[in-house]
Chain A
């Protein structure tokens, strides 16, 4: 990383620098559109040469940490290796060129891949049916809770107004409950990191529509009383939603369907290794139990003697409906399918084995190096939580300081300050694709930073030093909003 300033693409712009390699050369007539409907001044998009653009965006790419360049142990995000075959094959012209509304007989290749993926995900989750259409985890959550609502409505059970969510849950859970018209009730976590079952018993009742639970939880542990929780909620007439954003440690080990869940979403951009793309796209398919099957979001891939086809409103009249214009993030689903083929059944179980081994190893090493774990008595799953509460008290340094300093040591920081219930926490997820050497180097960096905290806390608080930027001012960004370049400056 070098700290040269990269001007905005607009600053490279020169009026009249027309790059017309990508357009038709003849002129076209627009005289059927009346003046009142036409644009008067052109949008101030950059006017640059192809080389200007290529250089500029290449240079910008070099200012990123990514899986391809750095260890990226961002908890709850499963930043594992993204095999290149998945990208190359998903970008074959037959797939890229297919219009979503072209007839099914022109899409048998694509549809057969999606059918196979549905079958694979059914087996992985132990659910009865799968709809691939949600475009990310949060949309999968929406689909799931909307199905829970549709189920209660279909039973004329209209008094259920609450969704239960553990206090450690990801923010998308309560936000989703709101979008589905439910109030959220938080359930505390007990000292061992499991859902507090007594507290659950105290709040569950005829107003309970369901519970949204993540297992392994966002605390990085497997909730051992999951069966009991399922029974308590089911006995009260509520349904169980499984936040399956992180299945990496349970692939082939446990199936949410066997734990009694009614609906699950999966994040294929995590467990199935599709690229995170600087923020997305993802894919958040939902799996359902028999009783929620009629409500699945459409379209779903069906199969009959003539081949593969889309199931729509006609086939699923009680569906919660559509969530996207076509069928969701088709190309992401293809990448996940190809990844699943490369792994195969034994490869999936192996992912769970080594993701778990790496997490437990890293936790043990950090523990031996003197760091405090949030739940030292528990096994790690795919991830675990380290708390810097003691350092905050003794040296006055924060989880944020450690995170920023890790960047200087060449590591992307773990997830910080999540889950909200553990003070000064780092949520660390190494994934199965990292080697022992990398994990050891990370531990060494953490130990070195700890030494700095003890000897020179002020330096630590000023980190990072080797990035293109020093620490950025978030408060100023929010207070003096500057959300776009004022293009007038250079024209």
Chain B
């Protein structure tokens, strides 16, 4: 039987041991009136050959055009060794390392992961993952409200330059706890939050969220924003792209003081395939003083009975299985396998490889923007520096242009009209290190044709 080893003989002997006549007897505590009708909507079982045929046909339907889409998920080269190692059964089929002595592989790897994330963000500590970037920001907001003991307001300043879906997810997740999310408008020239436009007397705020780079790809004036927030008693929550951390100033170094308080983001660029949106992983780092307010699993180094170094789940008194209704979060299962991939990815890239990836992604996007802006009616909207995305204005409605590009096998970017109608015919483009000069040229040619 598929995935069931029992022989008829086994079943008979086992029932005898139990003292039951038939397997059916084992369900006799279920009230008769509740017994299910049959599973009519589910097809009959198929063998691996038939299922492979069916699923391969489906996968082949999903054609791959040349893509310049980013907007929260980024195409990067993933070294072959990453998933070769990650899908080893010992990583793939283990669970949360509750039995530390029999899970030192996962635990040591997670300790290395925490170290790498803390290094990337220049923060003191990291947890062992949350679900994804958007939900990690929601957790960061909840954490900031708990951690900022001086603030009574539960007010969070949320810039309009934060990914629109992140803002929407945060709203879904935190709205039941009396938290107010106040939108901070952006500067239409720079595509960033202009610190000069922040109120001089903001009142009691629990935290300011600072995206770096922001959703437009633009780099925020993080130092001034950080100093402004902290001088008004607010914590700083950084939302960062981990690849960018190899190139631009990390949140631990923002401002004149101790840097950001909490940092989170989407881990997908570190070794996770695009895969229709998941599984990815959320990461979260913070200053040491806030560690007891962190959600999620945390791994610590300790010693065994003989004094040898080993690793365990620690600070579990924050978590749902101990603290129940008073836990820092309800999260239990996280995105462990994706952090495994990220740890191996970062080991293979090293500081130099990650910096090169960041630099080439940045340079390709600059090159692409320049090429496209040579076409009549196409222009860059914002004048601030960018990481690996930027916003272009088109002479025709963005959705029409993007559909036309699609017929030429180019996914030309993300239509900003729904989230930012005030920008008019605007698209967000991204060209990572995976794009060659020919790819950029292909896009330019297609756009020229479409706009001709």
Give Cα distance in the complex from A123 to B42, angstroms.
7
What is the chain A residue whose CB lies nearest that of B10?
A436
From B77, B89, B171, give the contact of A68 (CB < 8 A).
B89
Give Cα distance in the complex from A181 to B364, angstroms.
46
CB distance from B52 to the nearest CB of A (A): 6
Q: Which of chain A's residues 328-371 have a Cβ closer than 8 Å to chain B?
A: 328-332, 338, 340-351, 353-354, 356-358, 360-361, 364-365, 368
CB distance from B279 to the nearest CB of A (A): 4
A191 contacts B by Cβ under 8 Å: no
Give Cα distance in the complex from A79 to B103, angstroms.
15
Taking a contact as CB atoms under 8 Å apart, the answer to whether B329 and A476 are in contact is no
CB distance from A234 to the nearest CB of B (A): 16
Q: Which of chain A's residues 208-234 have a Cβ closer than 8 Å to chain B?
A: 221-222, 224, 226-227
From B15, B166, B300, B320, give the contact of A478 (CB < 8 A).
B300
What is the chain B residue whose CB lies nearest that of A122?
B41
Which residues does chain B contribute within 8 Å of A356, judged by CB atoms?
23, 26-27
Taking a contact as CB atoms under 8 Å apart, the answer to whether B38 and A345 are in contact is yes
A36 contacts B by Cβ under 8 Å: yes
B149 contacts A by Cβ under 8 Å: no
Which residues does chain A contribute within 8 Å of B31, judged by CB atoms?
224, 226-227
Give Cα distance in the complex from A48 to B346, angstroms.
10
Which residues does chain A contribute within 8 Å of B35, judged by CB atoms?
253-254
Taking a contact as CB atoms under 8 Å apart, the answer to whether B348 and A53 are in contact is yes
Which residues does chain A contribute within 8 Å of B273, judged by CB atoms?
96-97, 331
Give Cα distance in the complex from A342 to B338, angstroms.
26
From A107, A136, A368, give the contact of B276 (CB < 8 A).
A107
Taking a contact as CB atoms under 8 Å apart, the answer to whether A95 and B330 are in contact is no
Give Cα distance in the complex from A6 to B399, angstroms.
54
What is the chain B residue whose CB lies nearest that of A183?
B325
From A77, A109, A462, give the contact of B61 (CB < 8 A).
A109
Give Cα distance in the complex from A467 to B165, angstroms.
45
From B26, B100, B274, B280, give the contact of A98 (CB < 8 A).
B274
Which residues does chain B contribute within 8 Å of A100, judged by CB atoms?
72-73, 274, 276-278
Q: Which of chain B's residues 1-50 have a Cβ closer than 8 Å to chain A?
A: 1-6, 10-11, 13-15, 17-20, 23, 26-31, 33-48
Given A341-B51, A412-B102, A477-B312, CB of A101 within 8 Å of CB of B414: yes
What is the chain A residue whose CB lies nearest that of B7?
A436
Interface of A is mostly: loop
What is the chain B residue whose CB lies nearest that of A45?
B351
A474 contacts B by Cβ under 8 Å: yes
CB distance from B175 to the nearest CB of A (A): 8
From B33, B56, B62, B126, give the contact of A110 (CB < 8 A).
B62
Best-surrounded residue of A110, A181, A487 (most CB of chain B within 10 A)? A110
Taking a contact as CB atoms under 8 Å apart, the answer to whether A275 and B55 are in contact is no
What is the chain B residue whose CB lies nearest that of A438?
B5
B377 contacts A by Cβ under 8 Å: no
From B36, B69, B305, B333, give the contact of A252 (CB < 8 A).
B36
Taking a contact as CB atoms under 8 Å apart, the answer to whether A85 and B48 are in contact is yes
Q: Which of chain A's residues 1-22 have a Cβ closer than 8 Å to chain B?
A: 5-6, 8-10, 17-22
Given A101-B71, A123-B40, A279-B333, CB of A28 within 8 Å of CB of B362: yes
Taking a contact as CB atoms under 8 Å apart, the answer to whether A10 and B112 are in contact is yes
B188 contacts A by Cβ under 8 Å: no
Which residues does chain B contribute within 8 Å of A286, judged by CB atoms?
none
Which residues does chain A contribute within 8 Å of B5, judged by CB atoms?
433-435
Which residues does chain B contribute within 8 Å of A415, judged by CB atoms?
98
Taking a contact as CB atoms under 8 Å apart, the answer to whether A139 and B315 are in contact is no
Which residues does chain B contribute within 8 Å of A68, judged by CB atoms?
89-90, 92-93
From B43, B103, B165, B300, give the contact of A481 (CB < 8 A).
B300
From B20, B62, B125, B323, give the contact of A94 (CB < 8 A).
B62
Given A39-B248, A112-B58, A227-B33, CB of A181 within 8 Å of CB of B2: no
Which residues does chain B contribute within 8 Å of A181, judged by CB atoms?
176-178
Give Cα distance in the complex from A349 to B111, angstroms.
41
CB distance from A15 to the nearest CB of B (A): 10
Which residues does chain A contribute within 8 Å of B331, judged by CB atoms?
136, 138-139
B363 contacts A by Cβ under 8 Å: yes
Given A281-B279, A322-B169, CB of A357 within 8 Å of CB of B14: yes
Q: 1/0 per position for A471-491, CB-CB distance to B under 8 A? A: 111101110111111010000
Taking a contact as CB atoms under 8 Å apart, the answer to whether B97 and A278 are in contact is yes
B397 contacts A by Cβ under 8 Å: no
What is the chain B residue whose CB lies nearest that of A49?
B348
Q: Which of B130-138, B202-210, B443-451 contacts A (4 or more CB under 8 A)?
A: B130-138
Q: Which of B114-122, B153-161, B193-201, B228-236 contacts A (4 or more CB under 8 A)?
A: B114-122
B256 contacts A by Cβ under 8 Å: no
Best-surrounded residue of A77, A136, A341, A482 (most CB of chain B within 10 A)? A341
Taking a contact as CB atoms under 8 Å apart, the answer to whether A138 and B353 are in contact is no
Which residues does chain B contribute within 8 Å of A53, judged by CB atoms?
81, 344, 347-348
Q: 1/0 per position for A65-77, CB-CB distance to B under 8 A? A: 1111110101001
B309 contacts A by Cβ under 8 Å: yes
Give Cα distance in the complex from A139 to B323, angstroms.
18
CB distance from A265 to the nearest CB of B (A): 12
Taking a contact as CB atoms under 8 Å apart, the answer to whether A278 and B315 are in contact is no
Taking a contact as CB atoms under 8 Å apart, the answer to whether B347 and A351 are in contact is no
A156 contacts B by Cβ under 8 Å: no
Taking a contact as CB atoms under 8 Å apart, the answer to whether A37 and B219 are in contact is yes
Taking a contact as CB atoms under 8 Å apart, the answer to whether B103 and A18 are in contact is no
From B114, B274, B359, give the contact of A28 (CB < 8 A).
B359
CB distance from B255 to the nearest CB of A (A): 12
B148 contacts A by Cβ under 8 Å: no
Taking a contact as CB atoms under 8 Å apart, the answer to whether A258 and B274 are in contact is no
Which residues does chain A contribute within 8 Å of B133, judged by CB atoms?
325
Given A327-B277, A328-B278, CB of A94 within 8 Å of CB of B64: yes
Give Cα distance in the complex from A11 to B340, angstroms.
18
Which residues does chain B contribute within 8 Å of A353, judged by CB atoms?
23
Q: Which of A170-178, A199-207, A390-398, A444-452 contacts B (4 or more CB under 8 A)?
A: A170-178
Taking a contact as CB atoms under 8 Å apart, the answer to whether B169 and A343 are in contact is no
CB distance from B371 to the nearest CB of A (A): 15
Given A68-B93, A322-B169, A344-B46, CB of A432 within 8 Å of CB of B3: yes
What is the chain B residue whose CB lies nearest that of A330?
B276
A293 contacts B by Cβ under 8 Å: no
What is the chain A residue whose CB lies nearest that of B245?
A43
A455 contacts B by Cβ under 8 Å: no
CB distance from A11 to the nearest CB of B (A): 10
Taking a contact as CB atoms under 8 Å apart, the answer to whether A99 and B338 are in contact is no
A188 contacts B by Cβ under 8 Å: no
CB distance from A420 to the nearest CB of B (A): 9
Taking a contact as CB atoms under 8 Å apart, the answer to whether A113 and B99 are in contact is no
Given A124-B39, A277-B336, A378-B29, CB of A72 within 8 Å of CB of B95: yes
CB distance from A439 to the nearest CB of B (A): 8
Q: Which of chain B's residues 399-440 have a Cβ closer than 8 Å to chain A?
A: 403, 406, 411, 414, 433
CB distance from A279 to the nearest CB of B (A): 3
Taking a contact as CB atoms under 8 Å apart, the answer to whether A138 and B266 are in contact is no
Which residues does chain B contribute within 8 Å of A434, judged by CB atoms?
5
Taking a contact as CB atoms under 8 Å apart, the answer to whether B347 and A56 are in contact is yes
B258 contacts A by Cβ under 8 Å: no
CB distance from A239 to the nearest CB of B (A): 16
Taking a contact as CB atoms under 8 Å apart, the answer to whether A179 and B276 are in contact is no
Q: Which of chain A's residues 75-95 have a Cβ closer than 8 Å to chain B?
A: 77, 79-83, 85, 87, 89, 91-95
Taking a contact as CB atoms under 8 Å apart, the answer to whether B278 and A39 are in contact is no
Best-surrounded residue of B45, B69, B83, B411 (most CB of chain A within 10 A)? B45
Taking a contact as CB atoms under 8 Å apart, the answer to whether A92 and B278 are in contact is no
CB distance from A128 to the nearest CB of B (A): 13
Q: 1/0 per position for A372-392, CB-CB distance to B under 8 A? A: 000000111000000000000
CB distance from B326 to the nearest CB of A (A): 7
What is the chain A residue whose CB lies nearest that of B42?
A345
Shortest 3 CB-CB contacts between residues of A and residues of B: A344-B45, A326-B277, A277-B337
Cross-chain pairs A/B with CB under 8 angstroms, 10 sampled = A89-B55, A99-B73, A142-B173, A176-B330, A276-B95, A278-B96, A279-B297, A321-B169, A328-B278, A482-B301
